A and B are shown apart, each in its own frame.
Chain A
């Protein structure tokens, strides 16, 4: 097919002028839009009213379909469950026997821990839960990893609050609408979480890689503290995230960095709890009179 050789629609001055104006509008508008991008990079909170309105309007659509999707996933699990019923039963029995032994040990350790804490006069600061809500969707084609939570400013959700599921950390609130909010997922390229290794307490940073995995970097230069299978939990350094929430499991060690998978998989998590930002208690000031 040959393209239309001549884009001029005819000899009408009015139509030619209209075409010309169209180009002018497009170029000026395109430049303005580039300006908008720059503006939203310099000031991420700008246009939040517009964006949260769109979020509120679109969230019910997403929420309605979510139960169907999880239903389909459940069907698949039920069917595969039948095929592996026998072997799975045996495995689970063995695992439960092991777990029961660990549970008894844990109970005595917990009692001992409480006793020691009382002796040392350690005070726990838990951050209060704001709301429990469903995780209904995420950005699909954008390079950002942003989830959508079915709770917003009306439920007390504010930007900056940590979002936690039963299995571990999901991320934190980025922007809120009235009835829905956007979550910066752990795997987003701009998410950074201070953590420590459960095995030896070494401090590290977890950063998202945008492809479903996270990168774990040690804070000690030259150290190689990671092993495959290690679990990292939040360390509460810098506030926001409460301590000892499971974050990721290390699957691959590359020198002083490691690659891990988040323990809470946002694809299958249904409910998540939004908490108040954790604020560590200030140490008693020595200069105070």
Chain B
């Protein structure tokens, strides 16, 4: 049985796993932009951001607010956006969510989804704006499919986080 064989080493491993799993999961989600696909339209949802949102909404006490800086840095290096985009937007999102937590009285799955949807829309629009597109020929309408896809896929990310969370916490 697993319980009978708990040693100090396995306890230490479990303690490391508790801290590391969410961080690694978010970074792995960010590497989705390395998939060997060549896309002519921006269709893929911002995976790293979805993972960050899912963890934050599932476990509000999990991360300090500055975690958006290192995680966003990794995402920026891989995504092709100007450096600092994800760093600033992820931190801003975490700050706003913290602020919101102090006002919200009740939260459930649907409210989380709504909050995530608003965050995703603002994030994608801000990313478009940051990449210097004002005055260019690109139409904002080209971003709508990506937004819809990201919003619809968000519950799947929450599911993944719940699975990882159960595995992460030993008892």
Asked if B21 CB lies within 8 Å of chain A CBs, one says no
Asked if A3 CB lies within 8 Å of chain B CBs, one says yes
Asked if A187 CB lies within 8 Å of chain B CBs, one says yes
Asked if B142 CB lies within 8 Å of chain A CBs, one says yes
Closest CB pairs A-B (n = 6): A36-B84, A189-B138, A212-B40, A33-B87, A210-B138, A211-B142
- CB neighbours of A26 from chain B (8 A): 64-66, 68-69, 91, 94-95
Asked if A151 CB lies within 8 Å of chain B CBs, one says no
Query: Which applies to chain A's interface (DSSP): helix, strand, loop or mixed?
Result: mixed
Q: How many residues of A contact B (CB 8 A)?
A: 66
- A190 contacts B132, C-beta separation under 8 Å: yes
- CB neighbours of A147 from chain B (8 A): 38
Shortest B122–chain A CB gap in Å is 14
Instruction: Give A54 to B83 CA distance when docked, in angstroms.
Output: 12
- CB neighbours of B79 from chain A (8 A): 139, 141-142
- A139 contacts B69, C-beta separation under 8 Å: no
Asked if B133 CB lies within 8 Å of chain A CBs, one says yes
Cβ contact of A211, chosen from B61, B85, B136, B139, cutoff 8 A? B139
Asked if A58 CB lies within 8 Å of chain B CBs, one says yes
- A22 contacts B106, C-beta separation under 8 Å: no
Asked if A161 CB lies within 8 Å of chain B CBs, one says no
Q: Which of A65-73, A118-126, A238-246 interfaces with chain B?
A: A65-73
Instruction: Give A175 to B157 CA distance when docked, in angstroms.
Output: 33
**Are A33 and B131 CB-contacts (below 8 A) given A26-B65, A66-B36?**
no
- CB neighbours of A143 from chain B (8 A): 42, 124, 127-128, 131, 133, 138, 143
**Are A37 and B85 CB-contacts (below 8 A) given A51-B77, A190-B136?**
yes
Interface residues of B in 122-156 (CB under 8 A from A): 124, 127-128, 130-133, 136-139, 141-143, 146
- A211 contacts B40, C-beta separation under 8 Å: yes
Instruction: Give A19 to B41 CA distance when docked, in angstroms.
Output: 41
- B95 contacts A142, C-beta separation under 8 Å: no
- B81 contacts A29, C-beta separation under 8 Å: no
Asked if B35 CB lies within 8 Å of chain A CBs, one says yes
Interface residues of A in 183-228 (CB under 8 A from B): 185, 187, 189-190, 207-212, 215
Shortest B146–chain A CB gap in Å is 7
Name A175's closest neighbour in chain B (CB-CB).
Answer: B80
- B36 contacts A69, C-beta separation under 8 Å: yes
- CB neighbours of A7 from chain B (8 A): 61, 98, 101-102
Chain B interface size, under 10 / 10 to 19 / 20 to 34 / 35 or more? 35 or more
Q: Which of A100-108, A130-138, A248-256, A276-284 interfaces with chain B?
A: A130-138
- A25 contacts B66, C-beta separation under 8 Å: yes
- A140 contacts B36, C-beta separation under 8 Å: no
Asked if B25 CB lies within 8 Å of chain A CBs, one says no
Instruction: Give A27 to B33 CA distance when docked, in angstroms.
Output: 27
Known: A2-B105, A30-B87, A208-B136. 20 other contacts (CB 8 A): A1-B107, A1-B108, A22-B64, A30-B92, A33-B87, A36-B84, A36-B88, A37-B84, A61-B34, A62-B35, A137-B36, A139-B81, A140-B43, A141-B45, A142-B33, A145-B42, A189-B136, A210-B138, A211-B138, A266-B40
Instruction: Give A253 to B105 CA distance when docked, in angstroms.
Output: 55
- CB neighbours of A64 from chain B (8 A): 36
Instruction: Give A4 to B132 CA distance when docked, in angstroms.
Output: 39
Listed residue (A33, A39, A50, A208) with the most chain B CB atoms within 10 angstroms of its CB: A33
Instruction: Give A235 to B45 CA distance when docked, in angstroms.
Output: 37
Instruction: Give A210 to B138 CA distance when docked, in angstroms.
Output: 5
Instruction: Give A61 to B44 CA distance when docked, in angstroms.
Output: 18
- CB neighbours of A210 from chain B (8 A): 41-42, 133, 136-139, 142
